[in-house]
Structure 1
Amino acid sequence: MNKHTVIVVDDQRSVRSMIKRWIESDPNWEVIGEAANPFEARDLIVEKQPEVMTLDVHMPGMDGIVFLKKLLPQHPMPVIMFSSSTTEGASITLEALEAGAFDYVTKPIGTPESLTEAKEDLLSKLKESLNFNKSNINGSLKTQLSFPNKEKRKTNFKRKFILIGSSTGGTTALRKLLDDVDETFPPILIAQHMPENFTALFAQRLNAELKVQVKEAKDKEILQPGHVYIAPGNYHLGIQKIGSEYYTRITQTDKKNGHRPSVDVLFESAAEKEIAGSSIGIILTGMGNDGAKGLLQLKEQGCLTIGQNRETCVVYGMPKVAYELGAVTYQVPLDEIVDKIKEVGSL
């Protein structure tokens, strides 16, 4: 059996050895090279032609982001970043995702539980990297790609809520989608698979760049038009009704589908509150099946549902499962989703 091939790039020999042990604990994978810096990595890639690379965000000699930007146009491949969970680590990792990294694993803090979790996370993402869409090397769209100017028409929204779920490739996909959103849109609630520290920073970056207000959601915030609420890392986001108004609901109940925040929890909270009939549910790029069952529940209660199509996904996992389950009303390319929201928002 031919094994899938990886190179491991980290300046610490002990860390490289640990990652190699993790990878090769799966008989389907083989580490065919190790590098202590980007220059060694570049030579290894040319020589060995690996399928996947793991890369430390902090590298000597060349900034990891610069390395990615130079490497990926020449050698498109899934790159899994190893990141610390600090604010600085989160910031660099978000830049790496924008530069085209496939996904990331947060470094363990040394406890047996954190080591096991990091190992399982890496093996899961290696497996999913085999479905990587090389044509979408920069997070489901090339950042230098410009779409033609669309007609800027205002929509008289009858739909009161927009609910979005995303995972691998989602940070860049969300950035592109929200760039076309304005203050006339209903409140938008997002469950993006991300750890603590990352979600607040991601929200801050989007808020600085976009026309709408973006924030990491807090519990019992009244939902307002022209506002985007991102589920905080390690918490679930949902909708709750208090009196005649609708608010965010932040909980830390068990993980669902292995995730907290979970897309299913967000979607199911809308289905439970019987507000599906006045909502639009959207599922974007991501691995696994989180969100598919919840989206089907929404659709069955009158929600209009949209799935990102295969061609524009970094990983056509979550949208594929949802589509095959019959949960997707419209399947469209990423750059057409906002037009579809406007089209169906007044229905």
Structure 2
Amino acid sequence: MKKHTVIVVDDQKSVRSMVKRWIESDANWEVIGEASNPYEARDLIVEKQPEVMTLDVHMPGMDGIVFLKKLLPQYPMPVIMFSSSTTEGAGITLEALEAGAFDYVTKPTGTQESLTEAKEDLLSKLYESLNYNVNQLSNIKNNNSTLSKNSNSKTTFKRKLMLIGSSTGGTTALRKLLNDVDETFPPILIAQHMPENFTALFAQRLNSDLKVRVIEAKDKELLQNGHVYIAPGNYHLGIQKLGTEYYTRITQTDKKNGHRPSVDVLFESAAEQEIAGSSIAIILTGMGSDGATGLLKLKNKGCLTIGQNKETCVVYGMPKAAYESGAVLYQVSLDDMVEKIKEIASL
């Protein structure tokens, strides 16, 4: 049986050895090279042609982000970053995702539980990477810099709420989608699979770049037009009605589909409300099936549902599961999604 191939890039030999042990504990994977810096890594990639690379974000000699920007246009491949869970680590990781990294694994803190968690996360993401649509790498620059095509067109929304779920590839997809959103849009609630520290920073970065206000959601915040509410890492985001108005609901109940925040929790929370029939729900790129069940419940309540198409997904997992369950009314490319939203907004 031919094994899938990985190279491990980290300046610490002990870390490289640990990551190699983790990877090769699965009989389907083989580490075919180790590098202590980006220059060694580049030579290994040319020589060995690995399927996947793991990369420490902090590297001597060349910043990991610079390395990605130089490498990926020439050698498109999934790169899984190792990141610390600190605010600084989160910032670098978000930059890496914007530069084309496939996904990231949070470094273990040293406890046995955190070591086991990191190992399982890495192996899971290695398998996810086999479904990576590397064609999306050529769109990274455009996704991050495209000016709104529709900046002067205003839409009258009859739909009172927008809900979005995303995972792998979602940070870039969300930036692309929200770039064309303005203050005329209804409240937008987002469940993106992301840990603590990362969500607040992600919201801040989007808020500084976009036309609308983007915040990490807190409990019982009034939902307002032209505002984007991102589920905080390690918490679920939902909606609740207090009096005549709708507000956020933040809970820390059990993980759903292995995730907290979970897209299904957000979608199912909205499906329980009277507002479900006058909402729009969107499922973007990501591995697995989180969101499919909730999206179908929303559709059955009269919600208009959109799924990202295979061609523009980094990983066509969550949208595929939703589409195959019958939950998706419109399947469109990421580039055309805002136009589709505006087209159906008055229905």
TM-score range for the pair, normalised by the shorter chain length: over 0.9
CA contact (8 A) 2:143 2:173 kept: no
Provide the residue aligned with 2:198 in structure 1: 198
Give the whole-Å Cα distance in 2 for the aligned partners of 1:322 and 1:147: 30
Deviates more, 1:55-64 or 1:148-157: 148-157
Q: Does residue 346 in structure 1 map to residue 346 in structure 2? A: yes
Provide the residue aligned with 2:118 in structure 1: 118
Give the CA deviation at 1:144.
Answer: 7.0
Deviates more, 1:161-170 or 1:138-147: 138-147
CA contact (8 A) 2:81 2:104 kept: yes
Matched to 2:230, the amino acid is I
Give the CA deviation at 1:147.
Answer: 7.4
Provide the residue aligned with 1:137 in structure 2: 137
Provide the residue aligned with 1:232 in structure 2: 232
> What 5-or-longer segments of structure 2 have no aligned partner?
none
Provide the residue aligned with 1:251 in structure 2: 251
Aligned residues: CA RMSD: 1.4
Q: TM-score, normalised by structure 1?
A: 0.98
- SS of residue matched to 2:254: coil
Deviates more, 1:152-161 or 1:322-331: 152-161
Matched to 1:99, the amino acid is A
CA contact (8 A) 1:101 1:138 kept: no
Give the CA deviation at 1:137.
Answer: 1.2
Provide the residue aligned with 2:282 in structure 1: 282
Provide the residue aligned with 1:186 in structure 2: 186
Provide the residue aligned with 1:72 in structure 2: 72
Give the whole-Å Cα distance in 2 for the aligned partners of 1:165 and 1:259: 12
CA contact (8 A) 2:37 2:61 kept: yes
Aligned positions of 1:154-173 closer than 5 A: 154-173=154-173
CA contact (8 A) 1:286 1:318 kept: yes
Aligned positions of 1:261-300 closer than 5 A: 261-300=261-300
CA contact (8 A) 2:144 2:172 kept: no
Q: Identify if the C-alpha distance between structure 1 residues 144 and 275 changes in structure 2 by more than 3 Å, giving closer, same or farther.
A: closer
- SS of residue matched to 2:89: helix
Provide the residue aligned with 1:2 in structure 2: 2
Give the whole-Å Cα distance in 2 for the aligned partners of 1:256 and 1:144: 31
Give the whole-Å Cα distance in 1 for the aligned partners of 2:39 and 2:64: 11
Q: TM-score, normalised by structure 2?
A: 0.98
CA contact (8 A) 1:140 1:313 kept: no
Give the CA deviation at 1:89.
Answer: 0.2
Give the CA deviation at 1:83.
Answer: 0.0
- SS of residue matched to 1:275: helix
Provide the residue aligned with 2:25 in structure 1: 25
Give the whole-Å Cα distance in 1 for the aligned partners of 2:181 and 2:251: 27
Write out per-residue CA displacement over residues 299-324 of structure 1, whole angstroms, 9 at most, x where no aligned residue. 01100000000000000010010001
Identity across the alignment (%): 82
Q: Identify if the C-alpha distance between structure 1 residues 231 and 179 changes in structure 2 by more than 3 Å, giving closer, same or farther.
A: same
Give the CA deviation at 1:286.
Answer: 0.5
Give the CA deviation at 1:111.
Answer: 1.0
CA contact (8 A) 1:191 1:263 kept: yes
Q: Identify if the C-alpha distance between structure 1 residues 185 and 145 changes in structure 2 by more than 3 Å, giving closer, same or farther.
A: closer
CA contact (8 A) 1:140 1:169 kept: no
Give the CA deviation at 1:154.
Answer: 1.6
Give the whole-Å Cα distance in 2 for the aligned partners of 1:327 and 1:10: 43
Give the whole-Å Cα distance in 2 for the aligned partners of 1:141 and 1:291: 28
Q: Does residue 308 in structure 1 map to residue 298 in structure 2? A: no
CA contact (8 A) 2:147 2:179 kept: no
Give the CA deviation at 1:138.
Answer: 6.0
- SS of residue matched to 1:156: coil
Deviates more, 1:135-144 or 1:275-284: 135-144
CA contact (8 A) 2:133 2:315 kept: yes
Give the whole-Å Cα distance in 1 for the aligned partners of 2:133 and 2:150: 26
Q: Identify if the C-alpha distance between structure 1 residues 233 and 337 changes in structure 2 by more than 3 Å, giving closer, same or farther.
A: same
